[in-house]
Amino acid sequence: MTTRRLGATGPEVGALGLGCMGMSGMYGPADDDESVATILAAVDAGMTLLDTGDFYGMGHNELLVGRALRQLDRDAVTVSVKFGALRDAVGGWGGFDARPAALRNFLAYSLVRLGTDHVDIYRPARLDPAVPVEDTIGAIAEQVKAGLVRHIGLSEVGPETIRRAAAVHPICDLQIEYSVLSRGIEDEILATCRELGIAITAYGVLSRGLIAGTGPSGHSGDFRAHSPRFQGANLDHNLGLVERLRPVAERHNVSVAQLAIAWVAAAGPDVIPLVGMRRRSRVDDALAAVAVTLSEQDLADVDRTVPAGSAAGGRYEGAQLAALDSERPAER
């Protein structure tokens, strides 16, 4: 697999990253042994960027990644950790905490669960409205100086916050949802990141399975059951949009899901798609997708058949979407 650099200051990683969230119950039950085997297979295939969060399964996901790390050359992988989301014992959400004292605590626990002496990229999962972003980034910068963190990233924040954060310490990448059905970053966020030399690590490239034709598993822990894009008429409309992509996919003898991954990868060398998977069998499909080269005609056809803003329903439910800094209109 080819590599891409995470911004002007970040590490080189595989052109496709592995999203590990789904291994810890967010889409329903998963098999731990198969999840670890999937991480090992992905890294062996060149997917060297592993994305996790300390709140995925209340630490469960970091323990899984830690199991895999014990079987890998630690220097050959880049581990990205999000922090700050608060959970309770039954999986409920309790807000967000990005205070300097809190992040030092979160990081200490992450290092133990991962079984490593450093995190390659550390990032607040969301903007904490009660804490200036300068305070949060400054506190992570202290951990960089201490050798516990190598690089600083951001997640789901808008242009103003990106600029404020980058003024404190170099930012290697912004993690944010980006797909054929979620193109909000094209308005201002992508241009801001490129101006500042910040890469995009794009999650949700398959719209949480929607582009692959899958929906809620029926398990109580699968948050897609409450996602507006998977509800009623919205789901029917969105599946219709996905079907419109099939002729372009067929030109390259790939599935619509593989086309969607290739489309994100085609956005530029500073965009690294994160593909979530829980089974080794999906690794080869992902590799085939990133190998697809889309022509200008292909890209134009995607824009024509599924234009920006055509998806029905928000990418999160209303209250969560309203709380995202990345969704706030830029100040003029």
By the 10 Å C-beta count (0-12 exposed, 13-18 middle, 19+ buried), 302 is classed as buried
In angstroms, what CA-CA distances link 110 with 52, 128, 136, 156? 10, 20, 17, 21
DSSP 8-state code for residue 183: -
Catalytic: 56?
A: yes
185 contact partners, CB below 8 Å, separation of at least 6 = 176, 178, 200, 326
Under the phi-then-psi rule, with left for phi > 0, alpha for psi from -120 to 50, and beta for the rest, what region is 161?
Answer: alpha
Catalytic choice (56, 178, 203, 316): 56
If you write DSSP's letter for every residue of 252-264 in order, what string do you get? TT--HHHHHHHHH
- In this structure, the number of other CB atoms found within 10 A of the CB of residue 189 comes to 22
Q: Which residue has 């995009």 as its token pair?
A: 200
In angstroms, what CA-CA distances link 206 with 46, 90, 99, 235, 289? 20, 28, 33, 14, 12
Cα gap 146→123, rounded to integer Å: 16
Active-site residue list: 56
